[in-house]
Structure 1
Amino acid sequence: MRNVLFSILVRPVILFVLGINIRHREKLPDSGPVVIIANHNSHLDTLVLMSLFRGKSFQKVRPVAAGDYFMKNKLLAVFSTKVMNIIPIQRKMTKDIRGMFSPILKALEDDSIIILFPEGSRGEAEQLSKYKSGIYYLMREVPDIEIVPVFLHGLGKALPKGSFIFVPFFVDILVGDSFKYNENRKAFMDTLNDRMNRLGEEGQFKEW
């Protein structure tokens, strides 16, 4: 049912209104457990990433999202849980790291394909924000699981932060080589930044 609803409500808009060019699609995982990380400029980011999966793979896709935002009203909550199948996380400081990430860890145990934005909230259009170290603490709990970096370009113009007007735009998606957790936090974050920066440079995108 979820696949049908997504195919009717979301995928036609994503695939036919936006022009999507994806490079290295073969590097996208078709099964979990795996964590996909991407830069975050638009509410369309998650929907575009989800649209890349089909069938059994799609059924395993679980985006991580801010529970305080996506669960704030009934209609949005229904769409978020029934169609997007989000994992709602409360954005609060806590010393119980494992407890905070427990819904994600449980989903990974179920072989899910997790979509996560290390920047946290959406940044300004087509500008990378500083990646937060939450991804390090999550992967510390599951050090053997692969992380797949994905760079998105164009969605910050199609539906930028603070806008409710959807503008058809050409979108580039670059999928990078997977990597794993490193117990050295600085080295891990440096690797994450390096992988994302390389994907952006590969696209040779001009400044807006």
Structure 2
Amino acid sequence: MLSKLMSFFLLALVRFLTGSQARWYGCPPKAEQRIYFANHQSHADLVMIWAALPQELRSITRPIAARDYWTQTPFRQWITTAVFNAVYVTRQAAPAAAAGAAPSPAAEAAAAPPAPPADLADLATAGGPDPVPERPQAEPSPEALRAAVQPDDPLAPLVQALASGDSIVIFPEGTRGHGDEPQPFKSGLYMLARMFPQVVLVPAWINNVQRVMPKGEVVPVPILCSVTFGAPIALAPGEERRPFLDRARSAVIALRDV
């Protein structure tokens, strides 16, 4: 009961401070499993997207929350757990934050193509006969990729949330940016797209929220803000990590001026 009252209060507060306008430019608000991925400039980004979603989507969507920040006080932890139903991620270091963290060695091994046998490689290097080309190895299945994720992998809580049927909100930059454009996306979104090909990937652009709660400030300032949701993208067969991440980043940036 208390969490529901706090939810109503926070919705009213966020909408008073920001307007919390949701703009569904490329897709309708639909109750299907999704990964929303957005630019990241403030801790308030989590709250902004949560407030922008309609109730039927908010109830099935879990934003990620940096454990070191959102569990600093009992109140923050209660808010993110009881109200937002957030997924905590551990930021082991600033460059490896949130869903942008690199996958575990086991996950990387499952995703990487097998190396050629040492003896064949030596023959080619020594000028011997060309090795007989092997048949292309099949890519690991989504099930194999998910099984390779270790409990201490930064992606493990997100994999668990998606496996249980939840939608999630992630910030692929990994840490908050300060410029007009997002920083290069880290590998987490790519790995999740490979592990859960059936989940719809929806880009989003959060506008102005960094001015509501600038870094280092504790008192919010009323500023009109919006969240624009774009057309879904999908990982193409055989698409490599960096081209996909660059394309996903471009999809987010394209929503800035819509």
**Normalized against structure 2, the TM-score is what?**
0.70
Highest Rg: 1 or 2? 2
Q: How many angstroms apart in 1 are the aligned matches of 2:47 and 2:189?
A: 21
Unaligned runs of 5+ in 1: 203-208
Pairing partner for 2:253 from 189, 192, 197: 197
Closer, same or farther: CA 3–113 of 1 in aligned 2, 3 Å: farther
CA RMSD of aligned residues (A): 2.2
Is the contact made by 2:35 and 2:167 (CA closer than 8 Å) also made in structure 1? yes
Secondary structure in 1 matching 2:256: helix
Deviation at residue 201 of structure 1 after TM alignment: 3.5
Is the contact made by 2:203 and 2:232 (CA closer than 8 Å) also made in structure 1? yes
The corresponding residue for 2:128 is none
Find out whether 1:31 has 2:87 as its counterpart: no
Q: How many angstroms apart in 1 are the aligned matches of 2:183 and 2:30?
A: 28
The corresponding residue for 2:242 is 186
Does 21-30 or 111-120 show the bigger shift?
Answer: 21-30
Secondary structure in 2 matching 1:63: strand
Map 1:130-149; keep pairs closer than 5 Å: 130-149=184-203
Closer, same or farther: CA 28–163 of 1 in aligned 2, 3 Å: farther
Find out whether 1:7 has 2:25 as its counterpart: no
Q: Counterpart amino acid of 2:250? A: D
Q: How many angstroms apart in 1 are the aligned matches of 2:212 and 2:66?
A: 21
Unaligned runs of 5+ in 2: 93-101, 108-148
Closer, same or farther: CA 3–56 of 1 in aligned 2, 3 Å: farther
Deviation at residue 91 of structure 1 after TM alignment: 2.3
Find out whether 1:66 has 2:54 as its counterpart: no
**How many corresponding residue pairs?**
201
The corresponding residue for 2:18 is 18
Closer, same or farther: CA 197–88 of 1 in aligned 2, 3 Å: same
Secondary structure in 2 matching 1:147: strand
Q: Counterpart amino acid of 1:131? A: F
Identify, as 1 or 2, the structure richer in strand: 1
Q: Counterpart amino acid of 1:110? A: S
**Normalized against structure 1, the TM-score is what?**
0.85
Q: What whole-Å deviation, never above 9, does each CA across 1:58-107 have from its counterpart, x for those lacking one?
A: 22120112222222332221111111111111123642542322322222
Q: How many angstroms apart in 1 are the aligned matches of 2:85 and 2:77?
A: 10
Q: What whole-Å deviation, never above 9, does each CA across 1:159-194 have from its counterpart, x for those lacking one?
A: 122221211001132211001224411221121122
Q: Counterpart amino acid of 1:133? A: S
